[in-house]
Amino acid sequence: MQPGSSLPSPEPFVSADEAARFLSVKRRYLLELARRGIRGAYPLGTGAQRRIWVFRLSELAGAVAGRTPIHSAPTCAILHPGSPR
């Protein structure tokens, strides 16, 4: 906290490498969890295919401790045969 400030400074974001080390998992596995919606993972950028992810360690720890790491199940698309016209 800075002198004269009543608000604590926000928790910094960390890279996928640091977050994976914190959880003792492989970076690739952590990124898969991020794509599925684990709490504490935040995408940067606007690309649909490739994103840079940043993480808050306290939120990741809470997700693991709560045993509910995924916000919601991935949605499934239903494909119907034939032309849409």
pLDDT tens figures, 4-20: 667 778 889 999 999 99
pTM: 0.65
- Check pLDDT > 50 for residue 83: yes
Average pLDDT of span 57-67 = 88
**Mean pLDDT, the chain, integer:** 79
Neighbouring-strand partners of residue 57: none
In percent, the amount of the chain with pLDDT more than 70 equals 67
Q: What is the pLDDT of residue 10?
A: 87
